[in-house]
Structure formats: C-alpha cells, structure tokens
Amino acid sequence: MPKQLDFIASRVTEGKMTRREFMGRAAALGVSAAMASTMFADAARAAGPVRGGTIKIGCSGGESSNTLDPALVASEVPLNVLRHWGDTLVQVSPTGEIVPRLAESIESTPDAKTWRFKIRKGVEFHNGKTMTADDVLKTIQRHSDEKATSGALGIVKGIESMKVDGDVFSVTLSTPNADLPYLLGDYHLVIQPNGGVDDPAAGIGTGAYTVAINEPGVRHGFTKWANDWDSDRGYADSSEILVINDATARTAALQSGQVHMINRVDPKIAKLLGRAPNLDVRNVSGRGHYVFIMRIETAPFDNNDLRMALKLSINRQEMVDKILRGYGGVGNDIPINASYPLFDDSLAQREYDPALAAEYYKKSGHDGSPIILRTADGAFPGAVDAAALFQQSAQAAGIPLEIKREPNDGYWSEVWNKQPFCASYWGGRPVQDQMYSTAYLSTADWNDTQFKRPDFDALLLQAKAELDLGKRKALYSEMAGILHNEGGLICPMFNDFIDAVSNKVGGYDSDPNGELMNSFAGVKCWLT
C-alpha cells in the first residue's frame, strides 16, 4: 500500500494528477482526508514553485471608498492588498507559532515586560531606501499615537515606551504580556518608510509586490518587486485582485477561468461548486464565530436566568447544519474554540434543551413581552436565517422572540454595541489573551456584551504575566467557565473559511488564521 501511495504522490509531483484525483485515490487506499491533504501538499511542494505569470484573485469585501493606508484597513480586499506590498515585524504561522519577518530574532526579559526585536538587515523599501529600526519605531509610534486614527490603537495601547538601539527595537510594557509578539503581528502594523508619516496611503513597503494599479472597489494590480528580501515568495510576475462582492459572480468568474482563486464561498453551495471540474473547494476551521449578543446592563438581559434560558433555547447543531452546511463547528457560549492554543476542552458542551430553557424562563419572571432580536443580512452570512431558526427553537421553549431586520447600512454604528440584543460576528484573534482583552475586559472599548467582572479581569491580568503554560491554561479555563455560565454571549457556531482554488494554482495551503491563506495566497502561490 505505501508503494501505491508513493506512486500517486509522484504523479502529483510530476503535475499529472489533480488534488481531487489524489484525494479520491488516497481515500480508496484508506488514508484519512486530513492525512491525504498534508501528503498532497508535500508532494506538490516537492515539484517546486514555478515562476512567472499573473495570479488573479476574485475577492469579496472591497469598496470604492477603500484606501491603501494600513491604519484604516478593515475588510478583506484592503487586507489582501496590504499583504502584497507590506511586511510586519512578525507573523503568525498556520500552526499558531510566531515567525520572525522584518524582525530577525525576538527576546524578552523573564518578566515579559521588556521585549527586544533585532531588525533584519539589507531589506529595501520600494522607494529604494533601506529599512532601519528607526522606521519600525516610527511605524509603531504612528499607530499608537493617541491622536491617531489607527485600527490598531487598542492593540498597541499597553506600550509604555519604545526605543531604538542600533538595529534593535525594544518595547517596554506597562503590564507584562507574554503574548506581545502576537500583538505586533497584527496586520495594521506594516512597516512603512519613516512610519508612513509623510504619506500613509503611498503603498510603499517591503513586500513582494509593488502597487501598480489602485482602483478601489474595482481592481488592484501588482508587479514583482525585483529587490525583494525574501526569495520564498512572490513567484508570479504580477498579481491582480478583482473586487467581486457578489457570491454567485465570484464562483462564475472562477468557473469560467477569469480568476484563479476566490474567497468566501457560500457554505450552501460549497459542495455543489466542489463538483465542478478543474477546481477545489478548500475549507479550514478558524477562530471566527457568529454570535448573538445580549447587553448585560440592559433589561431584561440583566437577569442571568433569562440569559440562561436564551442560551438553552438555541439549537447549535441545527445552526451548523443549516447555516454553515457543516462547514464549521458548534460554539459553547465562549469566544474560544480548539483552534486556540491552550484551549481546555473539558468545559461541557451546552445543548439545546427547551424544557430546561422553559424552566429558567419561568424562573426569570419575564413578563412575556416579545424579546426583540435585531439582525441584518450583513451581520454575518445567513444572519437573518439564523435569527429565524433561533425564533423557532425558542418558541418551542415558550420564549417569544421577535426578529427585527435592520438595514445593512449603519448596522455596525447604530445597532451593534448599542441595541440590547443583536446578531454579530467576531473574526477571532491569534491568542486567547487578545480575544478576551478585546471584548470581555471590563474596560475594553468593544465590550459589546457589557461583561464587567472584576474577578474575570484579575484572572486575565494574571494569565497575561504567567509564563508557565500549564498554569496559564488553568487560568483560561476558569475564565471560560465564568463566561460560559454568566456572560452575555450566545455563541452558536464557529465558521470555517471556505476558498475555492483553480487546479492551475500551486502552493495553496489552508491557514486557520484567515481566508485565502490568511490573505497571503497572492504572494505565496504560483501558477503551474
């Protein structure tokens, strides 16, 4: 049997077998899908990357109001664009480790308070200047400036001071944080010449490609940067991102060969699309989750019995089956799943239990008036349908939910974080600390459930400084328990990232950090 496997693997390396054929044969030989997927990637990589050509990506999440300024990047297309022309100090690998990029090495003091980054030498910006530790300092300064408008402001808040010493950039924190490198791997923090102070939207960085065409909301074109410091990327001569926001148009563009890969395949059609020739649907479970948010300080959600009743009256498995069509996993009313390091799977899964829900509902003494759940098509894909399912399952427990569909327009500014009960979406963060600090710390700006618990905050702070992983895991699971039982979060499901990739593409490898290989597909893939 191994012999046969070797044979089909060699066919892959020679480029004579597609992924789908390989997966089919491997399955026939009794190899698990995950195993076969890894084997295929290895075999394909053995063939080595091919240089040349133009990679075309059909991508949703772009608007004509987009800009190249990294500080203001907030959706998929600008993020993919950013990955083409810029680099960060460090990067999170698909397996969750920190990979040094523009920093060559990282070290910290034992108390995790001071961090030193040795900056890579001989890296050239697209404008011909050499990158220095000073550029790094200026970049982080720009994003952490209180007057700044950066989306990363919250991330770099904890920095007390920064300094440059030769080619070393060092950071001192106000409170210890063992996860600081993960914070500096945030995509906003692309290193720009002189920190981008002069022209933040110039699109000048150290990335594999230079910006050639910038038509926001339409397309973005890139050409290979000749003096790229990293030879393990940027195989194609040029790359192009077409903004295709309509899901059906995106799949049609892939099927008719106008683009080589697309993001965000609708789970409802993923299996059907997968039957089409010459392409593969690739999904990977990530940290993004679809949620219903109850604001704890607003009646009637200040009553934990009512919150518990609602948590028990949602059918998580049905949501995964019908909204995600199986492309995802059930949530457990905490924002963390097994994709996170130090996840504790001993927390019991909450199940749909209408009888128990009815009991809690009765105990809560709610007056029986309908509970208004706000939703919008843009809250997350299928949010309106999910709300309808929730309404049905709650009805079985005797809990009256009333759905109110809000316009997509203004949903994030007028409904989310304002209305007492609404549908929402979280993209997840690389580590637990960051997820909790962003949305569940009493003082967090985005504490959308108004979860304010001093004991929880204390545990979070303690975990931040704890370098012993075992102890840290115990702290995290204690926190998860509090949130699970008393929080305002109803988390029915974690969604997979689903891309579809043409068979002409080599080097595609799923990354749980985000869709399209954490948006690196354009710089890491090649055309065969």
Subset of 330-369 contacting another protein (CB under 8 A): none
Site mask for another protein (CB under 8 A), range 39-58, x = bound: -------------------x
| Residue 15 or 427 having the CB closest to another protein | 427
- Cβ neighbours of residue 416 closer than 8 Å, sequence gap 6 or more: 293, 379, 422, 424, 448
| CB of 191 closer than 8 Å to CB of 103 | no
Pairwise CA distance, residues 314 & 491, whole Å = 9
| Residue 48 or 410 having the CB closest to another protein | 410
| Residue 56 or 126 having the CB closest to another protein | 56
| Residue 99 binds another protein (CB under 8 A) | no
The minimum distance between CB 58 and another protein, in angstroms, equals: 8
| Residue 65 binds another protein (CB under 8 A) | yes
- Tokens 């990530």, residue located: 286
| Residue 111 or 414 having the CB closest to another protein | 414
What does the DSSP 8-state code read for residue 281?
A: E
Instruction: Name the region of 516 (left: φ>0; alpha: ψ -120 to 50; beta: rest).
Output: left
For residue 428, give the amino acid letter.
G
**What is the Cα 364 distance to its own chain's centre?**
36
Piece of the chain touching another protein by CB under 8 A; list 32-40, 108-116, 356-364, 384-392 = 384-392
| Residue 230 binds another protein (CB under 8 A) | no
> Within positions 126 to 155, which residues make up the interface with another protein, using CB under 8 A?
146-151, 153-154
> Within positions 271 to 310, which residues make up the interface with another protein, using CB under 8 A?
272-273
| Residue 224 binds another protein (CB under 8 A) | no
Pairwise CA distance, residues 441 & 452, whole Å = 7
| Residue 392 binds another protein (CB under 8 A) | yes
Provide φ and ψ at 27, rounded to 5°: -60, -40
Piece of the chain touching another protein by CB under 8 A; list 32-40, 314-322, 336-344, 479-487 = 314-322
For 3, the enclosing helix (H) or strand (E) is helix 2-13
SS3 label, residue 238: strand
The minimum distance between CB 411 and another protein, in angstroms, equals: 9
The minimum distance between CB 210 and another protein, in angstroms, equals: 19
Pairwise CA distance, residues 317 & 309, whole Å = 17
> Within positions 408 to 437, which residues make up the interface with another protein, using CB under 8 A?
408-410, 412-414, 416
For residue 300, give the amino acid letter.
P
> Within positions 152 to 171, which residues make up the interface with another protein, using CB under 8 A?
153-154
Structure tokens at 387: 């709300």
Which residue from 405, 442, 458, 467 is in contact with another protein, where contact means CB under 8 A?
A: 405
| Residue 109 or 392 having the CB closest to another protein | 392
Pairwise CA distance, residues 312 & 8, whole Å = 49
